[in-house]
Amino acid sequence: MTRATRARPPVDRATATIDTPVGPVRITVAGGVVAAVDHVQDPPDDAPPTDKLLIEAVRQIEAYFAGERRRFDLPMAPAASPFQERVRQAIIAIPYGEAASYGGLAHILNSGPRAVGQACGRNDLVLLVPCHRVIGAGGTLGGYGSTSGLERKRWLLEFEGYPGKFPSN
């Protein structure tokens, strides 16, 4: 017995790449939510976005870098798993200018630091879900995408006024 399948309606998708103090950031919206915010190597777009949600996402990210916004108020795509959603909410709860350790979040979530680190590594919504606020034991930076990502992470923490000192990783 076969099941009839209906074609899914096309999902409206729009992207914008903007310049930021930590390099270009690409914002993707689809289906009425912000689907991704990524650090990229692409040059910023020449034309401004036309999608309303994308315009608002760009506005909020630019306000963050102007020091005018500390939290984001945008609809976000659901996390890939219930655990990643729990990690996402724990990261969003870390106040601006503060940091939490992978181990500290793991303790709150009844998990392990490595699992928290892996969930951070899968974060598709950098800045909106501020995984740069999650640091290693003893104040080490931990990870942030790539080797050059650690400099971004350090810059973001310093920009937010995090008072910690960073030992070498």
Q: Which of 29, 106, 131, 141 is catalytic?
A: 131
Q: In the chain, count of helices (H) and strands (E)? A: 5, 5
Q: Report CA-CA distances (Å) from 112 to 83, 90, 115, 116.
A: 12, 14, 5, 6
* Distance, CA of 137 to CA of 155 (rounded, Å): 19
* Distance, CA of 16 to CA of 12 (rounded, Å): 14
* Distance, CA of 94 to CA of 13 (rounded, Å): 30
Which stretches within 100-146 are classed as H helix? Answer: 102-109, 113-121
131 is annotated as an active-site residue: yes
The residues annotated with a catalytic role in the active site are 131
